[in-house]
């Protein structure tokens, strides 16, 4: 499965839009049911409006109705860990045991759990009570 994640992340990296930093990143997220979604970084001249590859992949998954991450695979040259914002978004849809794989395009990689990357993560239950998981909007 790691080969498939690498292929999806590499293809996404090849579509990245990074004319300002020239730092091209691709990501693939494997969901609980094994479905894989890819995403790339997309920069904007108003730099804070840029979006990272990890968040793009997660947004693609959530937009398709998925909620639970099993693994995250990130490709950059050199290999790089997700930024703090991405770590928080990953935490929203996973657990401390979720595997995060950071690789370069040639496939050299290292693995960590989200808990190691983001110890003492701020979690949903610490903010407001959760009555139920969100689902599709009610029919009108």
DSSP assignment, residue 17?
B
Beta bridge partners of 22: none
- Residue 3 among the catalytic residues: no
Q: Which of 57, 109, 63, 113 is nearest to 86 (CA)?
A: 57
Catalytic residue among 54, 77, 133, 139: 54
Beta bridge partners of 102: 74, 110
**Cα 69 to Cα 24: distance, rounded to the nearest angstrom:** 23
Which residues belong to the active site? 54
């Amino acid at each position: 499965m790691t080969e498939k994640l690498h292929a999806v992340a590499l293809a996404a990296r090849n579509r990245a839009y990074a004319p300002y930093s020239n730092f091209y990143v691709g990501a693939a997220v494997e969901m609980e049911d094994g479905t894989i979604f890819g995403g790339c970084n997309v920069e904007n001249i108003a730099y804070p409006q840029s979006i990272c590859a990890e968040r793009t992949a997660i947004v693609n998954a959530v937009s398709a109705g998925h909620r639970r991450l099993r693994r995250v695979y990130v490709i950059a040259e050199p290999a790089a860990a997700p930024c703090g914002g991405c770590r928080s978004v990953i935490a929203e849809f996973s657990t401390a045991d979720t595997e995060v794989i950071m690789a370069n395009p040639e496939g050299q990689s290292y693995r960590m759990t989200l808990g190691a990357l983001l110890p003492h993560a701020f979690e949903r239950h610490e903010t407001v009570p959760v009555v139920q998981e969100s689902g599709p909007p009610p029919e009108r």
